[in-house]
């Protein structure tokens, strides 16, 4: 059983800890610390980061998985030929992600984590076309124009929701805070429920 004096001591310690955390959070934003990307060891040129650290002062933006668009409308529906080879599909899915990020004021350089879900390519003896993935991916990451590399995982799955699609890609991006939120410009509707 805690005594009133001990309870006050615990409360005081909690308030000090809470204040310290708030000050640390403000200091992190005021210091404008950037996202830190740890390169692969030993100068490995593979275009992914070993790890990415996102400091305080950033919002995490979770972008839903993107499937490729149909590339050949004349090909049989639901076929790999309709979507194209792995490189074509990777470029299509990454272009869709790039467009989603642009709507948020972000770019591919803001991507900090990527997951690629791939299925075996029936036109390649039911094997993954990892080289095709990399040919498309390398057009967006680790280039002179866009050198930022995300942490990335690539996994094989049994199937995707779109027959004929060879991959689906999802990303997480980091968006720096821009100060206080702007006031809503629409009409204010008072809350009618209990508070």
For 22-52, write each residue's pLDDT tens digit: 333 333 334 457 999 999 999 999 999 999 9
Q: What is the DSSP string of the chain?
A: ---HHHHHHHHHHHHHHHHHHHHHHHHHHHTTPPPEEEPPGGG---SS-SEEE--TTEEEEEEEEEPPPPS-TTSPTTSHHHH-SHHHHHHHHHHHHHHHHHHTT--GGGEEEEEEEE--BGGGTTB--HHHHHHHHTTTSSSSS-----EEEEEE-S--SSTT--EEEEEEEEEE--SSPPPP-S------S--
Region 86-96: mean pLDDT is 98
pLDDT at 178: 78
Indicate whether 134 pLDDT > 90.
yes
Distance CA 10, CA 5 (A): 9
Q: Considering the chain, what is the average pLDDT of its residues?
A: 83
pLDDT at 99: 98
Distance CA 175, CA 80 (A): 35
* Tokens 């990892």, residue located: 130
Domain 36-176 matching CATH 3.40.50.720: the answer reads no
pLDDT at 189: 41
Indicate whether 15 pLDDT > 50.
no
pLDDT at 33: 79
Distance CA 90, CA 134 (A): 8
Distance CA 19, CA 13 (A): 10
Region 82-111: mean pLDDT is 98
pLDDT at 177: 86
Parallel/antiparallel/unpaired status of strands 58-66 and 167-176: antiparallel
- In the chain, the N- to C-terminal Cα span, in Å, equals 35
**CA 38 to the chain's CA centroid:** 16
For 64-78, write each residue's pLDDT tens digit: 999 999 999 999 999
């Amino acid at each position: 059983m805690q005594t009133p004096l001990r309870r006050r001591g615990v409360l005081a310690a909690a308030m000090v800890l809470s204040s310290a955390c708030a000050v640390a959070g403000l200091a992190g934003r005021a210091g404008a610390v950037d996202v830190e990307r740890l390169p692969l060891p030993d100068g490995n040129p593979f275009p992914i980061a070993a790890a990415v650290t996102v400091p305080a002062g950033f919002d995490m933006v979770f972008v839903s998985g993107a499937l490729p668009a149909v590339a050949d409308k004349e090909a049989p529906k639901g076929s790999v030929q309709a979507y194209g080879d792995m490189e074509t599909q990777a470029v299509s899915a990454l272009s869709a992600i790039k467009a989603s990020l642009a709507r948020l004021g972000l770019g591919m350089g803001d991507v900090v984590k990527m997951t690629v879900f791939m299925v075996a390519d029936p036109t390649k003896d039911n094997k993954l076309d990892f080289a095709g993935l990399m040919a498309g991916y390398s057009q967006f990451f680790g280039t002179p124009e866009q050198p930022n590399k995300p942490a990335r995982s690539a996994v094989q799955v049994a199937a995707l929701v779109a027959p004929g699609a060879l991959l689906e890609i999802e990303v997480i991006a980091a968006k720096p805070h821009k100060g206080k939120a702007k006031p809503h410009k629409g009409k204010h509707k008072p809350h009618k429920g209990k508070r």
